Each structure stands twice: as C-alpha cells, then as structure tokens.
Amino acid sequence: MRGKQRSTPREEQADQKEVLSMDKNAMGTRIRPGEGGELRDGVTVTDRVHAHLRGTQDSLTTPFLVRENAWARDVFAASVQWMQGHGLLTGERRQWLEKCDIGALLGLTNPHADRHLLRLAGDWYVWLYAFDDGVCDEAFTGAQAWDMAHLTLRLKRAVTGFTPGMEPEENYARALFDLRCRIAEHATPAQLVRWTEAVRDYLNGQLWETMYRATGRTPALDDYIAMRESASGCLTCFALFPVLNRYDLAEEERAHPDVEQLSRSANRIIAWDNDLFSYWKEQGDHSAIANLITAVAQQRQCETAAAITYTRKRRDDELATFLRTEKRIARYLSTEGKKYIANLRNWVSGSLEFHKTSRRFAPAPRPVHL
C-alpha cells in the first residue's frame, strides 16, 4: 500500500469539527483563491481551506499495489514525437506537458502491458492531455463552445473511421484517425467498437463541460456525477485493456452488472481523486465549475471545506463499493475477467500515485499559515 493510512473514526470526527469551525468563520462566503479576510494570527479563510484540501490530498490511499511498466517513459517519448508530428501542442504548452511526466502515468496505469502495444496507449494519453490543455481549457465563451461543438462532430467522424480533411484545424481529427487505424490492426472488431463508443461518449462529456463553463453555471450534483463518468476519459482507457494486455473479455462478462459496477466505481474513484487534486488550479482558471467539490457545495449549500470533506467521503464510499463487489464476484470470474479487474485496480492506484507526484497538480508557491 502506498500513501498514508486512513484516519480513525475519532480523527474523522475531529476533522469534521474543524470543518464546521471553518464554515462558521467563513460567514457564508464562497472561497476563491486570493480571497478571504484575516481571521487571527495572520490566518485567512483561504489559507485554512487550502491547507484542508492539501491534507485531504495527502491522506488519500488505496489498498492496491503500485507498479510501473519499465518501458513506459521510452514509449511515451515516442508518443510526444507523434504529437509534435501532428501539431497538437507547440511551444510552452508542449513543454509543460512534458514536465508533467505523463509517461509516468502511462507506466503506472499499464504495468503489465505489452511493450509494443503500450505505444497505442501512449499516443492516446498524449492526445487526451493535448486535447484537454489545447482545446477544452480554452473554451470559456459561447462562441468558443460553438466551435467546440463543430470540432466534436469532426472528431466523432474520425474515430468512427471517416478520413479527415487536410485543413490545419483538422489536426486533432487526423491524429485520432491515425490512432484509430493502428488500434484496429490489433483489436478485435468488438474491442474496436467498445473503444470507439467510449471515445464518442468522452467527447460528449467534454462538450457538456464546455457548455457549463461557457454559461458560468454549475451542474446539479447528480448531473455532474453522471456526465463526469464520460468526461473523465477513463472509460476510453479501460476499453484498451484487452488490446494492450492481449486477452479478449467476452461481452457477456463485460456487461455483467457486477463487472459494470466495478468499472463504474473505478472510474468514479479516479475522477474524484482528480477533482480533489485539480480543484485549486481550476478555481483560478474557470471557477472550478465542472468539479465535484463545486457541485457538492452548491447542492448542499455548504462552504468549500465541508464540500471537500463530503467529496472525500463519497470517494471512500465508492472505494468500499469496489472492494465489496470484487469480493462478491471474484470466484465467478473467468481468467480474462480477473485480468480486467486487475487492470482496473492498477489504474486506480497508478492514477493516485501520479496525482501525488506530478507537477501538473502541484499548487503554485504561496504561504499557508498553520
């Protein structure tokens, strides 16, 4: 097990008392970076919420081992070259992506993948992060959201197998089409369909997030949870498991309610960990409109610190659901089914390790008075 041990019930009660104290001191104001009046001894509300968030991040853990694929960083270097060849990110954005060490995520989430097939995942990861940084994070206005809708349609055509045009704005579509063709060389027809459908759902989720950011509206909690499952991109990566690890998961087993629950729980854990780690950065970029913490604060009419605590609880509850479901179904799984569940565990633990170590989620230097 990597990371700190989970807190005891007594410690959790103490944490809750501290949160309530924060809420009382906050006097009904919503916390934003750089805001928050002086409380005492030079400590601001923002400082205390920020410290509470960092403490929550540091205490997140899973019972799954952390492993890493020894070939991942070399493979990812080739994927970065592929990205540059398609002109997906340039200049400072490309440099930042390289500094974030996405190659570590590739290795941590696919520790046993075939070395040569791992390149498919590497190209997909770099496409996802380039798309997130270069397209999704730039769409804040209604006009930009409209452009995003048009781009989404072109990308859906490309991933379905229609050849994109040669215009400069088609670079993401051309890269996606190229990757789709190479995946088709190694995947069964059913595996290719699953990945294609997952990518289309991901694009729908990204468009949904863009629309909310463009209107400045925070989604309702249940709506956010439902759409985040698509927008996280995790399901697109899960769909590649059998391809990367050379097995074929039967459709009947994949669609079993317990296996679907395991996929759903893993997706939620990963996405909600990401929300906890990216919240402060998203606050500065676009008020964290599409973030579980923000949706919780709106739904429960609570302050940010209490929303962080509740988000952590929902995340831990989902991990407990995963473990209960796995225990119930383990003896009925085929060899391929067991491999798929092991792949899910690796993604959960590997993603958390990446979030804790990557510069992508490191907060900007700022004083926090404790």
The three-state (H, E, C) secondary structure of 223-252, written as one string = HHHHHHHHHCCHHHHHCCHHHHHCCCCCHH
pTM score: 0.86
User: Is 150 part of any domain?
Assistant: yes
Query: Average pLDDT of 121-131?
Result: 96
CA distance 230 to 129: 15
| Residue at 63 is within a domain | no
Residue 35 located in a structural domain:
no
Q: How many domains does the chain have?
A: 1
Q: What is the pLDDT of residue 175?
A: 97
Examine residue 13 and state whether it is found in any structural domain, yes or no: no
Helix, strand, or coil (residue 43):
strand
Domain holding 306: CATH number? 1.10.600.10
Mark out the alpha helices in the chain (DSSP H runs).
9-26, 45-59, 72-85, 91-99, 102-109, 118-134, 142-160, 171-184, 189-215, 221-231, 234-238, 241-245, 251-254, 257-286, 292-300, 304-329, 335-357
* Inside any domain, residue 51: no
Residue with tokens 């949706």: 295
Q: What is the mean pLDDT of the chain?
A: 86
Q: What is the pLDDT of residues 243-264, one digit of tens each?
A: 999 999 999 999 999 999 999 9
Residue 194 inside a domain? The answer is yes
Answer yes or no: are the C-beta atoms of 208 and 231 closer than 8 Å.
Answer: yes
Domain limits at 113?
Answer: 68-361
Query: Which pLDDT value is given to residue 34?
Result: 41
Name the pLDDT band for 307 (thresholds 50, 70, 90): very high
DSSP class of residue 364? P
Q: What is the residue type of 93? A: R
Query: Is 370 a member of any domain?
Result: no
> Sorting pLDDT into bands at 50, 70 and 90, what band is 318?
very high
Assign 3-class secondary structure to 151-206: HHHHHHHHHHCCCCCCCHHHHHHHHHHHHHHHHHCCCCHHHHHHHHHHHHHHHHHH
Q: pLDDT digits over 26-65, tens only?
A: 322 344 444 444 555 566 878 899 999 999 999 999 999 9
Q: Check pLDDT > 80 for residue 287.
A: no
Q: In the 8-state DSSP scheme, what is residue 100? A: T
167 occurs within a structural domain? yes
The reported pLDDT for the residue numbered 65 is 97
Reading the block at residue 35, the tokens are 């805001």
User: For residue range 167-191, what is the model confidence (pLDDT) as tens digits?
Assistant: 767 899 999 999 999 999 999 999 9
For the cut 60, the answer to whether the pLDDT of residue 284 exceeds it is yes
